[in-house]
Structure 1
Amino acid sequence: ATANTRLVGLEIAYFINYLKDNVGLNPKHVHLIGHSLGAHTAGYAGERIEGLGRITGLDPAEPYFQGMPSHARLDPTDAQLVDVIHTDGSSIFLLGYGMSEPCGHIDFYPNNGKEQPGCDLTETPLPLTLIKEGIEEASRVLVACNHVRAIKLFIESINSNCPYIAHKCNSYQNFLQGKCFSCKENDTGCAIMGLNTVRPNHAPGAKYFISTGKDTPYCRRQYKVMLDLAKPPRAESWVQGFMKVSLHSDNGVIRNLDLTPNGYERMEHGTSRSFVVTHPDDIGQVKRVEFYWEYDMDVLQPRSICFFWCNDHLYVSSIGVTEADEDGSRGKRGVLMDSKLCSQGPREYADIASRTSAVFIDKCEDQELLN
């Protein structure tokens, strides 16, 4: 199959050029979409079609293409816009079938472009899929769930009311920590993934990250939660633990969003930390936040063991909640959502003991007047 990709690409190029020469088709209006080997096939076609408008590569295949020269795989010169969605970029030795290296004008990496939510063997509904859709689809779910997720994400983007907003970042970890959240007008810090993608005004090679859900609808609205930590005299210089937030707004309540899904986080008092959380709903302007804290001891870190001689409390001055689509120009909402919430108590900060919660409200100005 790999050996035939160039031949098939040449046949596609011949057909489009025939339409150009005989019926006046303008190649700039042609959009080729290819999955796996089909992405590279579209690339081979594009290099033989002058002025081809767009190629969308859906998880381009890795074997025989990763690390190869640009003329031997999909690359940005194959069309006026080459956009790529990577969903299965683990090593082929770990059954990852997709490329991990950028190969378009703009490259999207949902969930780091590797393991997709809902594709773990413990989460895939194989018996139900076998009954409802047959052995072929069940086999595809078993061995290629990550690989075919790119197709499902692109299809959903066509009619979704939820904007697939991705953020340019140098690593997925930094994205999850809210360090790459710029999304202002004429800014290349964010882009829409899927059908509505536009060519960025920077050089190819950048990676755009986005988090999605494990089932339909896959699109998730992204919220940055920023914690400003106080440092009163009795506070430890740092503590570590788990955190959750519940967000209250005029549109309803989103409960127990996990800020630490991958394990405890070390929190240094007197600093700020940010986290990206996702949810399918548009929550609107946040009016109230319930923040839960649970200290965690690690036997491999003796300094984290806390009994009678240390303070396991977390001291939080304020909590900020911002939606990713800050200016509305790239998404479909068009409303700025940027809330700052302060402690409901008498102090300038909340003193939160382990395994307890504190409430923050959007009355920071009133709180500052009281203090």
Structure 2
Amino acid sequence: MAGLSIFLGFVFVVNVCAVHSEGHRRETICYGRLGCFSIRPPFNNTNDLPMDPSFITTRFYLLTDYSDHTPITISEDDLNSSEGTPFQPNLNTVFIIHGFLQNGRVEWMLHMALELLRRKSQNVILVDWGNGSGFPYGQATANTRVVGAEIAALITSLNNKLGTTNANYHLIGHSLGAHVAGYAGYRLPGLSRITGLDAAQPNFQNFDLQVRLDQSDAVFVDAIHTDGSDYNTLSGYGMMLPVGHMDFYPNGGSNQPGCPRQSLMNIISEEYEDGTYETGNIISCSHSRSIFLFTESINDPCPFTSFQCSRTRDFLAGNCFDCGGLPCPRIGYDANKYRARGKFYLATRSRAPYCGHQYLVRLELGTFRPTYGTLKLKFLTSSGLSDKVIFNGLNRPFASGQTYSAMLVELHELGGILQAQLEFHEQSSFFSWGSDRGIVIQKITVTTADTDKSVYFCGNHLRMMSDVPAGLHRPQYTPDC
């Protein structure tokens, strides 16, 4: 591996294969055994050539024992030495790859590695390309190609020296790391699996398949999308575009619960109150959620059930809870155990543990004047009181005859639902006058996602006035109101 070869005193000789005549800008550069890299189409997603492997210094850190939290450096040179390596060729191997502005010593990588080792005996290798993952972003984008080549070179050496095969390897990459995994997989025919954790959008979305992670890069490619909104420098770091055999969209794939809606004022306020470290957490909150969902899925008994669906609107309409008599796929570590292929949706909790029992709550309104405000809804059940669901009519007013949907995710399964408890808070507006203020409740429907069975509360034209709590009793099991 180039990075560790530098550590041992070896220096690569760079062979420049071609020089662009206009402005003397190189279009292609070659790095010894890693081959040549060009910025000609389709690799024109950045104007930067990858940096020298001796600068990036990609390093690999091996863990093989859950009880030992100290990673051991592993390199191609170790495979040629008489001392050998603790790598166990009879076991499967997982690589974990970080993204932009990180390195192989970030806490989440070690946490994920230990969870993998707690699940079963295997080799886990942390990939550290921190010297190449910094600013500017375009250069880090270009460097992913070299890091992918380094991973492929190490795996090829492991195959040749220790008798493993590409089918023994699973690559997990976050953000830019997901595309690193794709570049490695392109060089490793028959690679078992790649998991893309919110694969980076800028410089990749809508580019040629050769440039980004796609399902041809491994026998099985699964992806978790958590920050797939339009990129605006504060959010939208991940791709919404499907990239794998199974693409999972928790909470619609963007704006994860518990993460603030991004705005410049939010960022400035958070930096003032909590400092730069916390500000960074806010900016990357949805983007990083993919890491925590996958890590939790490794050993948590909660199933993280998902449902095949074409879009968020259909999921929130309750049209996707039927899995055709087959087990509904689970997001994360066990995704490869299911034969279903396509796009899958699910809802999660706003904080760890993120997995829970999913319920779709639909609110149907009667006739009233347009009204701004919020409606909070809880359910009294035989096992206690549920978390609240909030329907927001602040940016757009609640309107007559409209239906609103939201997911309620409970850590513990709800018992029998006995009562719907409501509270409406009206925001003052042009419409806030007269005796017919408030909103009118027509019907509330609660559907258990796992069973696709519903409970209904008929509103009987209940008018909710601001800050006056109300309750609906007598749940029924037919939709007629």
Distance apart, 1:79 and its partner CA: 0.9
After superposition, the Cα gap between the structure-2 partners of 1:119 and 1:339, relative to the gap in structure 1 and judged at 3 Å, is closer
Counterpart of 1:248? 380
CA–CA distance in 1 between the matches of 2:259 and 2:349? Answer: 11
Counterpart selection for 1:289 from 409, 416, 419: 419
Distance apart, 1:129 and its partner CA: 7.6
Do structure 1's residue 217 and structure 2's residue 353 form an aligned pair? yes
Distance apart, 1:183 and its partner CA: 3.7
SS at match of 1:32: strand
Give, as a single letter, the amino acid of the residue that structure 1 aligns with 2:448.
E
Compute the TM-score of the two structures, normalised by the length of structure 1: 0.72
Which stretch shifts more, 259-268 or 3-12? 259-268
Do structure 1's residue 50 and structure 2's residue 189 form an aligned pair? yes
After superposition, the Cα gap between the structure-2 partners of 1:155 and 1:255, relative to the gap in structure 1 and judged at 3 Å, is closer
Q: Deviations over 1:72-106 (max 9, x none)?
A: 11100111211112223344443343223221112
Q: Deviations over 1:178-230 (max 9, x none)?
A: 3443344338xx632211213765665x3x3333334322234320124577x
Give, as a single letter, the amino acid of the residue that structure 2 aligns with 1:218.
Y
Q: Deviations over 1:335-364 (max 9, x none)?
A: xxx352455xxxxx6341223523233466
Q: What root-mean-square deviation, in Å, do the aligned CA atoms of Structure 1 and Structure 2 show?
A: 3.9
Compute the TM-score of the two structures, normalised by the length of structure 2: 0.57
After superposition, the Cα gap between the structure-2 partners of 1:36 and 1:236, relative to the gap in structure 1 and judged at 3 Å, is closer
The 5 Å alignment of 1:192-211 reads 192-198=330-336, 206=343, 208-211=344-347
Counterpart of 2:109? none
Do structure 1's residue 95 and structure 2's residue 221 form an aligned pair? no
Give, as a single letter, the amino acid of the residue that structure 2 aligns with 1:352.
L
Counterpart of 2:449? 324
Counterpart selection for 1:358 from 453, 459, 471: 471
SS at match of 2:147: helix
Distance apart, 1:70 and its partner CA: 0.4
Report if the CA contact (8 A) 1:167-1:209 is conserved. yes
After superposition, the Cα gap between the structure-2 partners of 1:217 and 1:125, relative to the gap in structure 1 and judged at 3 Å, is farther
SS at match of 2:210: helix
Report if the CA contact (8 A) 2:307-2:346 is conserved. yes
Give, as a single letter, the amino acid of the residue that structure 2 aligns with 1:25.
T
Counterpart of 1:276? 406
Report if the CA contact (8 A) 1:124-1:142 is conserved. no
Distance apart, 1:22 and its partner CA: 4.1
Do structure 1's residue 108 and structure 2's residue 218 form an aligned pair? no
CA–CA distance in 2 between the matches of 1:51 and 1:153? Answer: 27
CA–CA distance in 2 between the matches of 1:315 and 1:119? Answer: 30
Counterpart of 1:12? 151
Give, as a single letter, the amino acid of the residue that structure 2 aligns with 1:340.
V
SS at match of 1:314: strand
Distance apart, 1:116 and its partner CA: 3.0
Counterpart of 1:34? 173
After superposition, the Cα gap between the structure-2 partners of 1:352 and 1:94, relative to the gap in structure 1 and judged at 3 Å, is same
Report if the CA contact (8 A) 1:124-1:141 is conserved. no
Counterpart of 2:440? 314
Gaps of at least 5 residues in structure 1 are 230-234, 328-337, 344-348
Do structure 1's residue 83 and structure 2's residue 222 form an aligned pair? yes
After superposition, the Cα gap between the structure-2 partners of 1:84 and 1:243, relative to the gap in structure 1 and judged at 3 Å, is same
Gaps of at least 5 residues in structure 2 are 1-139, 261-265
After superposition, the Cα gap between the structure-2 partners of 1:217 and 1:124, relative to the gap in structure 1 and judged at 3 Å, is farther
CA–CA distance in 2 between the matches of 1:141 and 1:213? Answer: 18
Q: Deviations over 1:242-287 (max 9, x none)?
A: 5433222232211532244776543529xxx462322332233323
SS at match of 2:399: strand
CA–CA distance in 2 between the matches of 1:92 and 1:160? Answer: 32
Counterpart selection for 1:191 from 313, 326, 329: 329
Counterpart of 2:94? none
Q: Deviations over 1:36-55 (max 9, x none)?
A: 22111111111222221110
CA–CA distance in 1 between the matches of 2:144 and 2:385? Answer: 50
Report if the CA contact (8 A) 1:81-1:105 is conserved. yes
- Tell me which structure has the larger Cα radius of gyration: 2
Distance apart, 1:324 and its partner CA: 1.6
Number of aligned positions between the proteins: 330
Counterpart of 2:106? none
Report if the CA contact (8 A) 1:249-1:284 is conserved. yes
Distance apart, 1:30 and its partner CA: 1.8
After superposition, the Cα gap between the structure-2 partners of 1:212 and 1:147, relative to the gap in structure 1 and judged at 3 Å, is same
Counterpart of 2:117? none
SS at match of 2:326: coil
SS at match of 1:41: helix
Report if the CA contact (8 A) 2:174-2:291 is conserved. yes
